[in-house]
Amino acid sequence: MSTLRELKTRIGSVASTQKTTSAMKMISSSKMRKATGQLQRLSPYRQMVQHVISHLLVTDQQFDSPLIAERDVQRVALVVFGSDDGLCGGFNVNIFKQLLVSINEVRQEYGQQVGITIVPVGKKMTKAVQKITGKDIQMERVALNTRSGSEELYAFTDLMKTRFLEHTFDRVEMLYMHFISTGKQVFTREQLLPVSYQGLADNVDPRAANSPCLFEPDANTIFNTVLPLHIKSMLQDVFIQSAASEQSARVMAMQAASDNAKELLDELQLEYNKLRQQGITTELLDILGGQVER
Q: What is the DSSP string of 212-247?
A: ----SS-HHHHHHHHHHHHHHHHHHHHHHHHHHHHH
Q: Give pLDDT, residue 79.
A: 97
CA dist., res. 39 & res. 269, Å (int): 45
Residue 49 has pLDDT above 70, yes or no: yes
CA dist., res. 85 & res. 247, Å (int): 10
Confidence class for position 62, pLDDT limits 50, 70, 90: confident
Q: Give pLDDT, residue 198.
A: 81
pLDDT in tens, 18-43: 899 999 899 999 999 999 999 999 98
Q: For the chain, what is the mean pLDDT?
A: 88
CA dist., res. 266 & res. 264, Å (int): 5
Q: How far is CA 120 from the centre of its chain?
A: 12
pLDDT in tens, 73-122: 999 999 999 999 988 989 999 999 999 999 999 999 999 999 999 999 99
Residue 15 has pLDDT above 60, yes or no: yes
Instruction: Select from 3.30.460.80, 1.10.287.1060, 3.40.1380.10, 3.40.50.2300 the CATH code of 32-251.
Output: 3.40.1380.10
Q: Give pLDDT, residue 227.
A: 93
Q: Which residue has the higher pLDDT, 269 or 215?
A: 269
Ranges of each domain in the chain:
32-251
Return the closest-CA partner of residue 194 out of 176, 173, 178, 175: 173
Residue 110 vs residues 116, 118, 123, 200, 240: alpha-carbon distances, Å: 11, 16, 29, 23, 30
Q: What is the DSSP letter of 59?
A: S
How would you list the strands of the sheet with 115-121, edge to edge? 137-139, 115-121, 75-81, 171-181, 184-193
- Cis ω before 194 (30° cut-off from 0): yes
Q: Give pLDDT, residue 293.
A: 55
